[in-house]
Chains A and B, each alone.
Chain A
Amino acid sequence: MDQDFEKTAEQAAAFQKLWVDSASKIMQAAFTISPNSPPPEIMRQIRAGIFQALANSWEEFMRSPQFLDSMKQWMENAITFRKMTTDFMARVRNEMQAPSREDIDTIMLNIRHLEKRLLDRLDELEAQMSAVKHPATGNGRARPRPKTVAPKGAAKSRRAPVQKP
């Protein structure tokens, strides 16, 4: 609880600092204008100064740990909410004897796995056929498929494996 309060206070302080900085930059921009400039031009210069100051401060803020923390929290809330609504809808649809999004996704995934297995098998058969047609290649062993021609849908996996560093 204390930690949460501290975090919120830190975020508020960062936000306050952003606006105090911006206000001081706005004032600087306003006071550097020459009094002989025509009014619309003065306004534009002040405005450009304000925008530049705001843009720099926001850029800085959006790289700060405070912003990144709140972004992460927001994302997690969005994901949780999405999961809750998906689960709820799935339950409602299943109660009504209707297919849910999850059911359709499962079917799609099964089809993808089936497609992958079929394509892999076709590749093997292609290599064997090629070995029969050209027995001289590779001393009768199946000729490997050229690396530059990959069939559509080859080696699909639901989740991309994480590479070890």
Chain B
Amino acid sequence: MNNGFTLTNPWLQWQQTLVDETITNLGKVAHIPTIFRRAQQIRKGVTPSEVVYEEDRLKVRHYLSDQKPKYRTPLVFIYALVNRPYILDLKKGRSVVANFVEKGFDTYLVDWGIPTPADRYLTLDDYINGYMVAVLDYIRKRTGAKTVNVLGYCMGGTMSAMFTSLHQRCVRNLLLLAAPIDFASNDSLLNVWTRPENFDVDKFVDAFGNCPPEFLQAGFLLLRPVGNLLEKPINFYEHMHEEKFIDDFLTTETWLQDNIPVPGEVYRQFVKYLYQQNLLTQARLPVGRHIVNLRNITCPVLNIMAGKDDLVPCGQSAPFNDLVGSKDRKTILLEGSGHIGLAIGGRAQKEVWPQACQWLADRSE
């Protein structure tokens, strides 16, 4: 009778819950010092690597493997100029790089380094026709391969598309991961905020030089204010006693907070030419003395997108396959995943990367 009363009386249930929650909360608070200690010990990049090329602030990492590469064509990861590239090799079981290394690809990663105020005048031309040409030439010479597979993530994907359009003869296969290409739609808040009537990029760059990391970080946070400022801390508090959750949370947050400035002129060009004028899709984007025409891309392309990406919505990436001159084009869409989840999420590791590795293996020597 008592049992029946306890189960059906909501007030007793609430009291019981209150006591249970208080005990759980005390246990969670006791975890805080451990979490602080662990946050300081987070590793940045897990796959063994060595730096094989350096130029100015740029470094090229070569990933080491016990086995000999199965494919002669090397694979180069081109990361964005925003944040640090170790998101692609975040931790064991969540590393995009490790997927390709384990499948026998000779894998390299371009780390652009952290720009200083002296880099404020670097342009897209310096990165695409300067650094990227030098890096790919070096890798081709080092491996003896005539062509290279290129995988670009986010802004690095846009830059990889520009590079391939101008230097198609160097690229065997092109993989884009959440790369913004068509800036016409207003799906993303960034497109709305950077409209010429809302944002004077010339005034901004003239005053600040490099785009400050705090400014970028604030913009990214405001894309999902409720998720980032409310849901995330609450979710953290609720799961802070779970070992695996804390490990994932700390590694991801360490990367998210590791912002770097973007060279002023690159930022100016990216906002003006792409966000405001959408020149890439119209074959009118100037990079140095060249005009980028995506029709010049004739190699096989794989376009990987996330269905719930706030930063680069599908509408910005999807048109790419229709704009290139390639006949061999494929799209992988991971529904329900976000921008970062596409790289490190559990589902991406199971559903996207094995497919992408196979796609590349089928097209590599």
The chain A residues found within 8 Å of chain B, CB to CB, are 35, 38-40, 47, 51, 54-55, 58-59, 62-63, 68, 71-72, 75-76, 79, 82-83, 86, 101, 104-105, 108-109, 112, 147-163, 165
Contact = CB atoms under 8 A, between A and B. Distances in A.
Contacts of B17: 39-40
A154 B288 contact: yes
Contacts of A109: 121
B125 A155 contact: yes
29 contacts: A39-B13, A47-B234, A62-B189, A63-B189, A68-B193, A71-B193, A79-B203, A79-B204, A83-B207, A104-B118, A105-B120, A108-B118, A112-B121, A147-B290, A148-B166, A148-B167, A150-B130, A150-B133, A150-B289, A151-B130, A152-B129, A152-B131, A153-B130, A154-B289, A155-B289, A156-B288, A159-B202, A160-B123, A160-B269
A159 B126 contact: no
Interface of B: 10, 13-14, 17, 21, 117-118, 120-121, 123, 125-126, 129-131, 133-134, 166-169, 186, 189, 192-193, 198-200, 202-204, 207-209, 222, 224-227, 230-231, 234, 265, 268-269, 272-273, 277, 279, 284, 286, 288-290
B226 A79 contact: no
Given A55-B226, A152-B129, A72 B198 contact: yes
A85 B203 CA distance: 15
Given A40-B17, A154-B289, A159-B202, 7 more contacts: A51-B230, A54-B230, A55-B224, A76-B203, A151-B130, A156-B123, A162-B277
Nearest to A52: B226
A86 B134 contact: no
A43 B203 CA distance: 48
B203 A152 contact: no
A154 B226 contact: no
A148 B164 CA distance: 10
B193 A160 contact: no
A160 B133 contact: no
Contacts of A156: 121, 123, 125-126, 288
Nearest to A55: B226
A147 B166 CA distance: 8
A51 B226 contact: yes
A130 B202 CA distance: 40
B5 to A, nearest CB: 16
A54 B226 contact: yes
A161 B286 CA distance: 9
A68 B234 CA distance: 29
A160 B272 contact: yes
Contacts of A79: 203-204, 207-208
Contacts of B288: 150, 154-156
Given A54-B230, A160-B273, A82 B129 contact: no
A154 to B, nearest CB: 5
Contacts of A39: 10, 13-14, 17
A163 B204 CA distance: 19
A61 to B, nearest CB: 10
